[in-house]
Structure 1
Amino acid sequence: MDHFNYRNGILHAEDVPLPEIAAEVGTPVYVYSAATLTRHYEVFSEALAGMPHLICFAMKANSNLAVLKLMGSLGAGMDVVSGGEYRRAKAAGVPGERIVFSGVGKTREEMALALEGGIRQFNVESEPELLALDEVARGLGLRAPIAIRVNPDVDAKTHAKIATGKSENKFGIPIARARDVYAEAAALKGIEVVGIDVHIGSQLTELEPFERAFSKVAELTLALRADGHDIRRLDLGGGLGIPYRRANTAPPLPFDYGEVVRRTVGHLGCEIEIEPGRLIAGNAGILLSRVLYLKKGEGRDFLILDGAMNDLVRPAMYEAWHDIVPVIEPAAGGPLAPVDVVGPVCETGDTFARARDLPPLGPGDLLAFRSAGAYGAVMASEYNSRPLVPEVLVSGDQFAVVRARPSFEEMLGRDTIPEWIG
């Protein structure tokens, strides 16, 4: 469910016509719906009703401060993977006791930052990291609460670049070694063991991999408790997919996911932590772009937009599909023709879609890339010295720019030329 719908033939974000945003802010521009973000959070919370739980929004999906502030106001925690994300979470008003620090390459400086600023737990990825965290915590006279990320060797049946739970992936420690590593952790004076962490990948469209992974975590919980560890939290990660292609069968609903959680680990009496990002933010955002040219090619036509791969890199990086729709609603049953939808960047990879059936479009027409609220703006760059794409948040009939497009003067001002040149 989202709040991007046609009204009187014009695509709206909630109660705001998208051409109004394009006229005021320019294109390309990301547009987010506060109502959709709120609804998706609430649906996930309802799915875990009756179990003690904390929903930690995976900031890597969308780290805009306004989005984080909204999530925090709903009661969400944050899942961060860098010191920068930790600072953003705190700047958005999220208290340390609702922040979980994940990531495979935490530095000692990041560890100290979180320990001193407050942290719910570190999700430890390796034994070297565990020893480094112990050293930092003891140096500060503190104990670091941890869950160790275990790799259950479960195929998430997703894109290879976003699978994280197989034995060949870089994440976590093999689940077969978990008891030994937990014993090592329990002997460290700067470490407090609080739980287990698992995350098998992103954009999962089946529940069976979750069931297999969570069942392994349940077995491990009982074994670790028998070893004397106080396992009171289970961090089950995120990963539930969203329907990028509206014409296809939708992935499982959060309610169904919640039933898997209940069935596999609900009997253990643990607080459940989950870290959805894409499912909360993905369909809550669109990328709005304008047609520059319709170019007739040899055997194919190209629709050239002002948006490019530096604004939305997912198609180039993951061969990802985004539904592309005209902002002005086409006539029902009208003609469609295949076009390659491309950007102006000097890369063949700057292609959003090939042979996509679209209605007749020309210069000045507006298009919306659906399901672009996650891993869109956060992965954007200034490649080709193109200004970073701005972001807008809509609530009802009002909207606000929550990240402005930088001026060329601001972009150039970040560089410095040494005196010894010229």
Structure 2
Amino acid sequence: MKLYSALLIIFSFFIVNITHASLFEVAPESLEAEAWTVLDPQSGQVITEHNSHVQRAPASLTKMMVAYIALKDIQAGKISKNEVITATPVVNVVQWDESQMYLKPTQQITIDQLLAGLIIMSANDAAVTLAERISGSVPAFVQRMNQEAKVLGMKDTNFANPAGITMDMHYSTAHDLAVLAQALTNETPDYLDYSKQQSFTYNQHFHRATNILLKQDATVDGLKTGFTRAAGYNLALTANRPTQQFDLNQRRLIVVVLGAQSGFKRAEIAHQLLNLSYAYTRNEIAIKNKQLIAELPVVASTLKMFRVETKKPSIVTTSLYNANQMIDMRNFDNQTHRLIQTDAFGFTSALEPLQQTQTHMNVELLTQSLTAPIAQIQQLARIHIYQNNRLIQTVLIEDVLQIDEASWFESILNWFKQLFSFGSSSANQAKIYPLN
């Protein structure tokens, strides 16, 4: 080992958000849907949910996974939007009553057109054509879909086909589909270039987007509708709206509604949940960029103290709903975006959102020291974030570290320094820095 070879190399730095209970509860009887969830993709927190982990038929919301895989492969350079492919007999598996682009074998089409047909038209022939092009066969692509779902943490999902056809082993949940939507908006935002389009025409076949909120709300830019008799009317919805905060001037939310009774009702419910969540929650930067969290002593290395420091800010979603009772959406005014409350004398008033939130953080060190040599992923700390003494998020901080061991000469030198040191013994103890 070379003299003074103790080096610290930081390959990457991870902040993993662990979400807890939803911020507030909505009375299930006040919304006519079987399941729903509202997710903030910036913080990863669930704002409100109902039956969000109950397995249901996802219908054409399945196609979000097809698009996610296709767009990831485009980013990786494996395929190109401008690539022209020839439709194969696989399109013949699509039945006459299914949504389709009416592709015929030997017909040529670009991947860009297939993505538009998949997302806007909800075309099943586009789904199987993309599946075959990407993985060589539909079964191989379905296997890829389930692999991607596992990586994303979609624990209650199993795909059996790329189009969303009802099958016994084809299911997902509102929560899992929101996680997929989060991946789409965060990792493959080109998806929104398709999902915000209100119509698409291919080969003289015109289709108007079935997400009616695209016309009603200019902030809405996706994501996907779905319907089968088994599933009911499903909708994955997202919007991006400006805020009044200078440090976070834009905010995106995701809503998934499953099992509504009509296309109109799924849109109404999703829009209510969207507006409620924007009005009564907000995002805050809980942990700043390059914020020093702690210092850990390092044993058997010339590096004395390792600085546990963030490499990016961490966002937390807080509640602005100033009440303890469950929210009745029948009391929500979708025009003013306010809950209407009635006092003991029968007078009504709008319930205004809180202007200030009470949050605090506790740092839990997962190790009190580091001992060289180290060449592994190391979990360093958990930061627990509370609002009104209620745990709303836990941030796990881990790092990929390499710390080389000190040489024998360095070790002897360090021993002499410690032997004749008159400093406080606490200098080599772990230290936590205040975050609030």
Q: Give TM-score scaled by structure 2 length.
A: 0.27
Q: TM-score, normalised by structure 1?
A: 0.28
Which entry has the higher C-alpha Rg, 1 or 2? 2
Q: Greater strand share, 1 or 2?
A: 2
